[in-house]
Chains A and B, each alone.
Chain A
Amino acid sequence: MNRTELVVDWLKANLFRSVIDSIVSVVVGALAVFALFRLVRFVFVTGRWEIIEVNLSLLITGVWPEAEMWRLVATLLAAGFVGGLVVGFVARSREIEAGIEPGPIRPGRRLGQLVSRLWPLLLGVGLLLLLSRTIMPTLLVLAVVGAVVVGRLVGRRLPRRSTTPLAVFAVLTLIGTVFLMVNGVGLDDWGGVVLNLFLAAFSITLCFPLGVMLALGRRSQYPVIRLLSVGYIELFRGAPLIALLLMADVTIGFFVPQSIVPSTPVRAIVVFTLFTAAYMAEVVRGGLQSVPSGQVEAAKALGLSPISTTFRIVLPQALRNVIPAIVGQFISLFKDTTLAGAAMGLRELLNAAQAATAQAQFRGQGLIVETTIFVLFLFWVGAFTMSRESQRLERRLGVGNR
């Protein structure tokens, strides 16, 4: 068959299967072309993007002082390096397990793979660089990419048995960067998308031990522990996050002595942590249920204590199975951090964007459409990239296929 016939066949099979199908295709197609035209015209012609260009740093980092910017840069570089290190190490370990020798690197093909895998992220970063008025962000992005590449190369050459030291190094580096940032700029001065990411990442890390404890408690043989765990989980899953945030904002001063009332960002972190722990518990419970009971029986037969059985046999398998679900939880927490702006007045991305439309220069021009679309686009880039990566991970781990 030649090319034309292939195209005709495809059209017949996918657009014009029957009379009704053809009518639907034509009508929907016309509407889609019109919508696409309006969208393109809005993005490139009618959209007034000046407000974004002027406020770009406000939307990304809030009122982060220029003099302290190096802390953010250092954090990004460190995160990029550690990320690359872990990815490189894991990739190499898999290759060795599967007995594959790395072939010659073909840059063109490698680039093509990266683009098809990370196109939402590349789109978002590219757009941000287009909107920025200085060369610095471009240099920063190049530096971070460099850090990732270097990390990956080093990670591939690490000795095979360095899993534990690598994990310790990664965790210590990340804790170090948190201290580096918080020591320089108090949490009250944070804002923009950096605050959203920080709130989400910090809270999901803090909630993890609590969530695992609750999940284990829910399956405990002790009725009191079970009851308390179920009570906690259902209480926090039954209440809306925004009501909890409002409640914490207004009433936390009643629950703790006046001398230690925490600042607003800390309140937000506390609520996000307690709230997400309940969901994390359900995610981990799913993982625990996926571990075959033969594993526990075998551990008992080997004479392992209940604690060893849990921590050396059950949890490692359970947690491995729920990594994609945890990423999903992180995505929804990342989106929910916008609520901290509405309920507590934190200057996170969405709130900062609304505030920008109230500036004297931009007031009363209906610019909320442009700012909100920009904000939604940034969230979409983050969430969509993460969800694609987690789907990839899910396929790799073969969850549900074993």
Chain B
Amino acid sequence: MSAAAQRPPFWRDVRVLGWVFQLAVFAVVVAIIGVLVNNVRVNSANQGIPTGFSFLDQPSSFEIPGNDFRQTQPVREAIVEGVLNTLRVVIAGLILATLLGVTLGVGRLSGNFLIRTITRVYVETIRNIPLLGLLIFFYIGLVLTAFPRVEDSWVVSNVLVANVRGVTIPWITGSTIAFLIVLAVAVGLAWAVNRWRLQVNERTGEPARGGTWAIPVFVLVGFWGAFFVGTGITTPELDGRSLDGGMTMQPEYFALLLALVIYTASHIAEIVRGAIQAVPKGQVEAASALALSNWHRLRHIVLPQALRIAVPPIGNQYLNLMKNSSLGFVISYFEVTKTVQTTVGNRSPAVPAFLLLIGIYLVMSLIISAGVNVVNRRLQVVER
């Protein structure tokens, strides 16, 4: 019998049926999307609403508080401003939430009973309440209700001034970009020095002491570089009713940042605790048997393995924090959701505007996922 004769008729051939099935599903999905698009077109035409993205060039006709954005600027620039506001709260939030979360996670495993209990109460409480409630509590309950007038500001010497206009902290003056470049150079040099010490250690067996070498390098390069590019420090100075210097965070920004950090940190803490506990006990015991010091045991045995477990879920928390920044909408912080919603209120067509919004969030999600994936790949065990 020839091979062709052995094949079943096409209506019973699994491969053919598979493709028919896929095409059918695809056709159904396309049909649903087609119906939706057609509905949008018909309904928009009935109400005389355009469906394209030409609204981006129209004047926005609203102002963004805490910003010199003018009503005559186009919607496009308003949305860019919204994205920047989102990034401002997300980047600060990521850094602070990671610091607080890791501290709390390590605290939950502390040998000190009080630290252990307090961090546990914090985590079990904050994780189980809705973020929106926390945000409203901080914004309406704390910032709007409890913060004092300017002349009665809460002052912590020259470090922190809080009043109804916002929270002021010391900040750098001069070009931010120049400062960031200096910072990057300092970090890069410190990293290179650390690497060189590790190589020396491998070649000669001499102790690496990476920190002892790298931290002074970082401090020296950082300070001299900052001095060289003209970076200064401005601190808040309160004099009666006038407040000079420092950087003032708007009340909305402050409340949103606080809520996001406190909420996300409780989730990160649980991840960190789980990751440290997931490192097999034998590893720690083996390290002790090799007479590694507490610090070396943590630095070279426990943390690298815990980090490998913790990075993917922490990446998820970063994504959540980014998406949760959209809650700024509720307290009228002009991040991108609030901005888009306002333009829709000002007669931008709703469907394209919201599709654009979803697209913006997708792009930001992809960027964060890509970053987390890069870190994750570097940490993975190289398997044979």
Contact = CB atoms under 8 A, between A and B. Distances in A.
B112 A15 contact: yes
A242 interface: yes
A31 B71 CA distance: 49
B302 to A, nearest CB: 19
A342 interface: yes
Contacts of A338: 130, 132-133
A380 B114 CA distance: 22
Interface in A342-381: 342-343, 350, 354, 366, 368-369, 372-373, 375-376, 379-380
A335 B111 CA distance: 33
A176 B362 CA distance: 40
B354 A246 contact: yes
Interface string A27-39: 0110010000000
A225 interface: yes
Interface in B300-323: 319, 323
B134 interface: yes
Interface stretch (B22-30, B189-197, B370-378): B22-30
Interface in A18-62: 21, 24-25, 28-29, 32
B22 A224 contact: yes
B128 A387 contact: yes
Interface stretch (B60-68, B136-144, B235-243, B288-296): B136-144
B110 to A, nearest CB: 9
**Most B C-beta atoms less than 10 A away, residue of A239, A255, A366:** A239
A255 B36 contact: yes
Interface in B115-134: 115, 118, 124-125, 127-134
B132 A24 contact: no
A274 B327 CA distance: 20
A376 B362 contact: no
Interface string B331-344: 00000010001001
A335 B129 contact: yes
Given A258-B43, A339-B132, A350-B130, A372 B125 contact: no
A225 B22 contact: yes
Contacts of B137: 368-369, 372-373, 376
Contact of B112 (A14, A240, A350): A14
A239 B341 contact: no
Interface in B1-52: 18, 21-23, 25-26, 29, 36, 39-40, 43-44
B145 A369 contact: yes
Interface in B232-260: none
Q: Is the interface of B mostly helix, strand, loop or mixed?
A: helix
Contacts, number: 160
Interface string A233-249: 01101111111101100
Interface residues of A, number: 57
B56 interface: no
B98 to A, nearest CB: 20
Contacts of B129: 335, 376, 379-380, 383
Given A235-B362, A254-B44, A350-B130, A15 B114 contact: yes
B112 A243 contact: no
Given A224-B26, A379-B129, A240 B337 contact: yes
A301 interface: no
A246 B335 CA distance: 14
B130 A379 contact: yes
A240 B361 contact: yes
Interface in A209-236: 221-225, 228, 234-235
A28 B114 contact: yes
A108 interface: no
Given A224-B22, A379-B133, A32 B341 contact: no
B91 to A, nearest CB: 17
Contacts of B329: 242, 246, 342-343
A252 B132 CA distance: 24
B34 to A, nearest CB: 12
Contacts of B341: 246
Contacts of A17: 111-112
Contacts of B140: 354, 368, 372
A342 B132 contact: yes
Contacts of A368: 136-137, 140-141, 145
Contacts of A159: none
A208 interface: no
A342 B330 contact: yes
Contacts of B136: 350, 354, 368, 372
A380 B141 CA distance: 18
Nearest to B111: A17
**Most B C-beta atoms less than 10 A away, residue of A15, A25, A29, A368:** A368
6 contacts: A254-B43, A335-B128, A368-B136, A368-B140, A369-B141, A380-B125
List 5 A-B pairs, minimum CB-CB distance, nearest first.
A240-B323, A383-B128, A14-B113, A335-B130, A238-B365
Interface of B: 18, 21-23, 25-26, 29, 36, 39-40, 43-44, 111-115, 118, 124-125, 127-134, 136-137, 140-141, 145-146, 319, 323-327, 329-330, 337, 341, 344, 350-351, 354, 357-358, 361-362, 365-366
